[in-house]
Structure 1
């Protein structure tokens, strides 16, 4: 099957300045969708996406490994913020790399109190990842953020804009403030987003922001390209809510179903679990694509569309194309630790790989897909043996203490600690430390003083049927060819 080129016009007939992609490569995990994968996809003409989650940790640990290829230092040398790259390198780069088993130096955790070192590291890390993904081609590159991680959003986004990101994709929440954030940061104006603080009065507003002038130190830069915003949603109701006003309207949607990897939206209504302990989704959880199309904005379907028939189905629904994650997560350019990646492929080929939509695993409270692999945090014995701690904190929630001070808590932290912060034991049951587990999955797990290394946590989508149609140890270009039905490697239709 050969798929025709995407239209250069929007559903309303307005011309877009460039061609919209048929395929969006999902922004998966922490570092799985790294710059190498995004660059490989973008070179085919489709949308390559880097994950913007925890890039501060990723950059700091890669620099402590010595940055053996020099790519990160080359990217940082292009950062147009006086002194920022020098300070980041002075804090984290270790010539030749730290000795095996040496703990990584920690990075400042996210918080509402301003921290210049944290801000500079976050901006630099997002700049470097997008900069490297955009090198050597003119294909489109995007960055994927979680709305849930609000305290990182302004600094992370500014770094991506400085590097020329073409798209920003955001899910795991309601990204209603992001259009204005992008407008302001592209013009180097101060910008902020609201931060949800538990136990605070509804009339109280908390926010975190960034003033680019504090980083530019008098340097004058031309206005930046304002990237397109794609809101990742699971319902036509949310899409309609975002589209109704210009100040909240994104430039398009990714309509993600429950089969997609990583976090999923919970079922609508009361949570009901099946015999396997997984959330049960019903007719109310199937969005009305006709209502989405009627909004007049381009949209892509995600979750179970990893094949030419899936793409054809999406196009028949009025979609511009599809977003695909798992097929790219398992390809050769993926950021997954290669031993783990090959283990996943082997278990899938042997028919023993299962992916469970765990309603409790994520501290964020959303159902989360966990791939069942021995020796990882999916293994009950490994989970039980790991001491609970929260030292990265990207999924921490700010809350208001009884005395009016701000605190931070995470259901994956030590149970006693969590109870002292006003929560219940049930809140902690089954919670995995996603931050440490996902960072470990890309080979950057923390080494503990007692000799332990953080165990990895692996996430994939539940639809793995596409693997039978791909070569062994497939590449990103193989996935694009398979989806488009070209078999020619260009990633576009003739």
Structure 2
């Protein structure tokens, strides 16, 4: 669900309705401080922050970011980009931001709340997990890579142990070895270690699910099986890459999920991708799934974190049959295919893309590499081209790349202002079945999370 689209109001609404409400943890530190600059601290957030175990961290963050409201003509104050040299203050901010997001999602009900992180974004992972655990997160869901190390990290955090993970480096490792990312729960003066949440791996095939089951450093309590029609990042096709006449990757029989093999693992699994009708839900359950994961329908509901004007534009376009979704092999700097919806005024428009000046000031998708002098540097093919080339990157890698960090922040209404008060343009990612949102849009072209749940569960037996 990108950055802050699946935010705490949506997760709270879904969890309160008896389902698993999931918050996105991607870029949560930047999301948190930008919200503070826009809105300050209201009663609910204030009550949540009072429960954080290290009040000096709260005081420092509020003093820096919540003292005055940002005007609509002012830029956001950024935080430092993540690196293996990030200060303890930066790490503590990530813990606090993750804690607040999950704690807000859990207010007012006894339902289940999860946290979704991308394995590819390594640097904030452990502090994000710990903050969520301090808030009582029930489930952690991770994909975009093979998160075999994460179950063991959850075990260590639940014991209050120090966590050390080697920094993933693209290309040759430094002679002295990869730097170690160290996180010590004692920094937060937590009175007792938090409860370990369940861990769900997000996979694209039974092969990956089997590998994760065997290689995981701890127990895996479930899987989310994402098919290629899902929005956001997709797994690449297995085998040689073949593109269709629109430049999209072609998926074949080898990419079909063997549901019998999934059942044989003996671990609950949820089907994701293209789930927009009651028939899809019934089919998943009949195939042995424990349930489904739904993204696109919730992304356009009233409780979602998508900018309301952008959300209304997509719904209106869908009602006219004017939203096309393509799978781009170039947009994401991760190298994974990425779904892009064609929406006017967004980076799906070639003119908008060409007009945007390349800037890299959030840095979540940067990769670590060894510089010519043996140091550790960071680069991203979506950063300014000359900067990327100076860091040893190839020009071919820069073609068509989108700064997803800034674009997805803009999609959530948190975009930065640039020179001339130009706003960062957003990007909309959706599943292939985005047109199905018209089934739910009422007379005012809107619908709520409860409407999605009622629609999808229409044919299911009610509890007695």
TM-score (norm 1): 0.90
Per-residue CA shift, 1:437-468, capped at 9, x if unaligned? 00011111111243111111111111135324
Task: Quote the residue 2:375 is aligned against.
Answer: 405
| Aligned residue runs from structure 1 range 290-369, under 5 A | 290-369=260-339
Question: For the structure 1 residues 108 and 492, does the alpha-carbon distance in structure 2 shift closer, same or farther, using more than 3 Å as the test?
Answer: farther
- The alpha-carbon deviation at position 248 of structure 1 amounts to 4.6
Q: 1:76 aligns with which of 46, 49, 72?
A: 49
CA distance in 1, matches of 2:423, 2:246: 30
Task: Quote the residue 1:165 is aligned against.
Answer: 137
Task: Quote the residue 2:104 is aligned against.
Answer: 132
Q: Secondary structure at the match of 2:254?
A: helix
Question: For the structure 1 residues 139 and 368, does the alpha-carbon distance in structure 2 shift closer, same or farther, using more than 3 Å as the test?
Answer: same
Q: Is the 8 A contact 1:109 1:118 kept in 2?
A: no
Task: Quote the residue 1:384 is aligned against.
Answer: 354
Q: 2:153 aligns with which of 181, 187, 201?
A: 181
Task: Quote the residue 1:21 is aligned against.
Answer: none
Q: 1:223 aligns with which of 182, 193, 206?
A: 193
CA distance in 1, matches of 2:18, 2:39: 32
Task: Quote the residue 1:258 is aligned against.
Answer: 228
| Aligned residue runs from structure 1 range 52-63, under 5 A | 52-63=25-36
- The alpha-carbon deviation at position 469 of structure 1 amounts to 3.1
Task: Quote the residue 1:280 is aligned against.
Answer: 250
Please say which of residues 271-280 and 141-150 is displaced more in the overlay: 271-280
Task: Quote the residue 1:33 is aligned against.
Answer: 6
Q: Is the 8 A contact 1:253 1:297 kept in 2?
A: yes
Q: Secondary structure at the match of 1:151?
A: coil
Structure 2 residues without counterparts, runs of 5 or longer: none
Question: For the structure 1 residues 248 and 186, does the alpha-carbon distance in structure 2 shift closer, same or farther, using more than 3 Å as the test?
Answer: closer
Q: Is the 8 A contact 1:233 1:256 kept in 2?
A: yes
Per-residue CA shift, 1:152-192, capped at 9, x if unaligned? 10111100000000000001001001011101112221113
Question: For the structure 1 residues 392 and 445, does the alpha-carbon distance in structure 2 shift closer, same or farther, using more than 3 Å as the test?
Answer: same
CA distance in 2, matches of 1:56, 1:289: 37
Task: Quote the residue 1:24 is aligned against.
Answer: none
Q: 1:444 aligns with which of 368, 390, 414?
A: 414
Task: Quote the residue 2:166 is aligned against.
Answer: 194
Q: Secondary structure at the match of 2:420?
A: coil
2:75 is equivalent to residue 103 of structure 1? yes
Q: Is the 8 A contact 1:43 1:139 kept in 2?
A: yes
Question: For the structure 1 residues 186 and 451, does the alpha-carbon distance in structure 2 shift closer, same or farther, using more than 3 Å as the test?
Answer: same
Task: Quote the residue 1:5 is aligned against.
Answer: none
Q: Is the 8 A contact 2:29 2:93 kept in 1?
A: yes
CA distance in 2, matches of 1:336, 1:29: 10
CA distance in 2, matches of 1:39, 1:99: 29
Q: 1:151 aligns with which of 100, 119, 123?
A: 123
CA distance in 2, matches of 1:87, 1:368: 37
CA distance in 2, matches of 1:376, 1:328: 20
- The alpha-carbon deviation at position 199 of structure 1 amounts to 2.1
Q: RMSD in angstroms over aligned alpha carbons?
A: 1.7
2:203 is equivalent to residue 233 of structure 1? yes
CA distance in 2, matches of 1:165, 1:492: 27
CA distance in 1, matches of 2:462, 2:96: 33
Q: Secondary structure at the match of 1:50?
A: strand
